[in-house]
Structure 1
Amino acid sequence: MNGIKIRGTGRCVPEHIVTNDDMAKIVETNDEWITTRTGIQHRHHCTTESHTFLCVNAAKSALEKAGVTPDEIGACIVATVTGDNIVPSAACMLQKELGLPEDIPCFDLNAACTGFLFALHTMECLLNASPRKFGLVVGAEVLSRTINWADRGTCILFGDGAGAAVVECREGWPSISAVMGSRGDDELLRLPGIETGERGFISMEGTKVFKFAVEAVPACMDAVLKKTGKTVEDVDFFVFHQANARIIDLAVRKYHIPPEKYYKNISEYGNTAAASIPLVLSELQDQGRIGPGSRMLVVGFGGGLTWGSALIEFA
């Protein structure tokens, strides 16, 4: 199978910023408590912006950086659990707003915080069967819609935003060698559906999810390194899902990753689920820290339970 590489990235976040001090006015907490336990200081929440608005603006930026026009796109996937609608999908609305071709697959993918990685692997497969060799992958969430403001353990965590990547499939390029897994669990992390009769609030067993994450991250990293025959030294940058700064710090210490090879933006955005990884990629590209030839090991984990990792490159 021919592999894919990233041609360009983009992002969009709401203007409204919610600080830890703002959170302290809603629930019993304070800036030190939140920062020490999570690394989060701010998060962006939608006020006037829609999910579609975030997707469109992130995608336009990615297309511009990639030098790719909408008519060249062969497939569009939006990884999300919080679209404006169940039907039409966020991807179909994105197709409409961008004027993407009508003879291509456009659909949403729900793998929670691992969604962008699942979507990248799915896109790699789709483009191998498509006459058009560019794909649009977006991770986007408006998690502020799902917050239970009486639950101190979860309301402090989540933010809204979107990140996008335009990828290209070309003969001779290596596969991203995605390693993915799932284990059904509706107790550790849950967002009820419309038929349950429940309010659509996120609920989470924080301590158990943390334990799951600190086990899943190294397992994913080891699996991809083994599959590709690479070592930590062969990787230019490590991109982690931004769920908790302590989870990232544990992985960094375990693998002796130098500061110049990893990045944390959780202090600014909080946990943005499927948008988390592409937001990091977009910021790193804009900062000039990754670009053509860069090799990145990307790791995600989340509700489902789901987990995954891949070795991706910039074209």
Structure 2
Amino acid sequence: MKFDGAGIAITGSGSATPQAVVQNDDLSQLVETSDDWIRTRTGIRNRHLLEEGGSLSELAATAATRAIASAHLQPEDIDLVLLATSTPDDLFGSAAKVQHLIGARNAVAFDLTAACSGFVFGLVTAAQYLRTGAFQNVVVIGADILSRWVDWGDRTTCVLFGDGAGAVVCQRDEVDQLLGFEMYSDGSQNHCLNLSYQANPKYLVHDLTIQKGEYQAVTMNGREVYRFAVAKVPEVVEKTLFRSEIGVDDIDWLILHQANQRIIDAVAKRLKLPAEKVIANLHEYGNTSAASIPLALDEAIQAGKIKVGQTIVTSGFGAGLSWGCAIFRWGKS
């Protein structure tokens, strides 16, 4: 979808990751695996995990604070805190806690749950508030602590995930720097990737039995998710490029959800995009779900790779199943 008129500029970025690092060889102490097995199949070497006592709210707040400072704003300037996460500290939501931690006392705050597509969906959601003039400054955070929900005895999933947070500040601007977006969902494939609730019966009163249970560990059909990603991600990127009226040659950087290096390589190949235009950091962080795109974005900005005015293609994909693409220029015009 393309929009004409007043829009948004993405003016600040920030990220945060836990200090504790678990290498591939460390995981061989937990399950039957090896550094070579993990690297050749995923591209992952390390992952950062949140230690006991840490919280998603604190990690997200650190990323948001850095993004706000990067945009040369004060916390009081923020109108909306939008937290994309599937792993809140509180099932009722953690965005309000983040709002408090960062001192954004004038902001409304809410959570958005779209798994690994969360940051892209969150960015598009923020854009609608800015384009209508409802808000002037929005901080969009992607943050997940999947180590909480991984079965550390399942080698097909425990090698994949890490913890982290990334954030951007979006501001209303006369020139719209969000060039286009597309978002999709297919609930018929929901079973391919789950963090599901397991209900147990509990008799209450008057022949009434209710559900009383708990959430289970992450389960995934890796083969089906891979097939889904390599088919749908290039398609949604191509469609967004078409609707944005730009070509592959206009892309300065491609930042995909950091799930698997083979998926990233396959998408870049189909788009005929050279490797030097693809940003990837999953070798260090693994799959950080909603955090992966803003984390990679911020690292590239801090390293001086991404320059103001450059065109960035982002695409998230994952549980739902859901997928989407957002194309934007970095910074104000």
Question: TM-score, structure 2 length as denominator?
Answer: 0.91
Q: 1:84 aligns with which of 89, 92, 95?
A: 89
Whole-angstrom CA distance in 2 between matches of 1:26 and 1:136: 38
Name the SS of the counterpart of 2:180 in structure 1. coil
Whole-angstrom CA distance in 1 between matches of 2:231 and 2:40: 21
Aligned residue number for residue 62 of structure 1: 67
Aligned residue number for residue 276 of structure 1: 292
Whole-angstrom CA distance in 2 between matches of 1:132 and 1:144: 34
Name the SS of the counterpart of 2:68 in structure 1. helix
Change (3 A) 1:59 1:174: closer
Which of 1 and 2 has greater Rg?
2
Quick check: 1:13–1:160 contact (8 Å CA) kept in 2? yes
Quick check: 1:4–1:176 contact (8 Å CA) kept in 2? no
Whole-angstrom CA distance in 1 between matches of 2:215 and 2:324: 29
Structure 1: state its 5+ residue gaps: none
Whole-angstrom CA distance in 2 between matches of 1:199 and 1:259: 39
Whole-angstrom CA distance in 2 between matches of 1:30 and 1:93: 39
Name the SS of the counterpart of 1:304 in structure 2. coil
Query: Could you tell which deviates more after superposition, 132-141 or 113-122?
Result: 132-141
Name the SS of the counterpart of 2:153 in structure 1. coil
Name the SS of the counterpart of 2:139 in structure 1. strand
How far apart are residue 156 of structure 1 and its match? 0.6
How far apart are residue 91 of structure 1 and its match? 1.1
How far apart are residue 131 of structure 1 and its match? 5.1
2:221 aligned with 1:217, yes or no? Answer: no
2:147 aligned with 1:144, yes or no? Answer: yes
Whole-angstrom CA distance in 2 between matches of 1:108 and 1:190: 19
Quick check: 1:70–1:101 contact (8 Å CA) kept in 2? yes
1:91-110 paired onto structure 2 within 5 Å: 91-102=95-106, 104-110=107-113
Aligned residue number for residue 21 of structure 1: 25
Whole-angstrom CA distance in 2 between matches of 1:226 and 1:111: 25
1:260-275 paired onto structure 2 within 5 Å: 260-275=276-291
Aligned residue number for residue 156 of structure 1: 159
2:318 aligned with 1:302, yes or no? Answer: yes
Name the SS of the counterpart of 2:14 in structure 1. strand
Query: Could you tell which deviates more after superposition, 25-34 or 179-188?
Result: 179-188
Deviation string for 1:11-70 (max 9, x for gaps)? Answer: 100010011011100000000000000000100111032101111110111111110111
Whole-angstrom CA distance in 2 between matches of 1:201 and 1:5: 38
Aligned residue number for residue 14 of structure 2: 10
Change (3 A) 1:97 1:194: farther
Whole-angstrom CA distance in 2 between matches of 1:142 and 1:70: 24
Name the SS of the counterpart of 2:309 in structure 1. coil
How far apart are residue 314 of structure 1 and its match? 1.3
Deviation string for 1:154-183 (max 9, x for gaps)? Answer: 011000000010111212325441100001
Q: 1:259 aligns with which of 275, 281, 294?
A: 275
Change (3 A) 1:120 1:199: closer
1:198-217 paired onto structure 2 within 5 Å: 198-217=214-233
Whole-angstrom CA distance in 2 between matches of 1:5 and 1:215: 30
Instruction: State how many pairs are aligned.
Output: 313
How far apart are residue 82 of structure 1 and its match? 0.3
2:180 aligned with 1:177, yes or no? Answer: yes
4+ runs deviating over 2 angstroms:
128-132, 193-200
Whole-angstrom CA distance in 1 between matches of 2:133 and 2:245: 29
Q: What code does the residue aligned with 2:16 have?
A: C
Aligned residue number for residue 204 of structure 2: none
2:75 aligned with 1:74, yes or no? Answer: no
Whole-angstrom CA distance in 1 between matches of 2:134 and 2:85: 26
Q: 2:252 aligns with which of 224, 236, 247?
A: 236
Name the SS of the counterpart of 2:284 in structure 1. helix
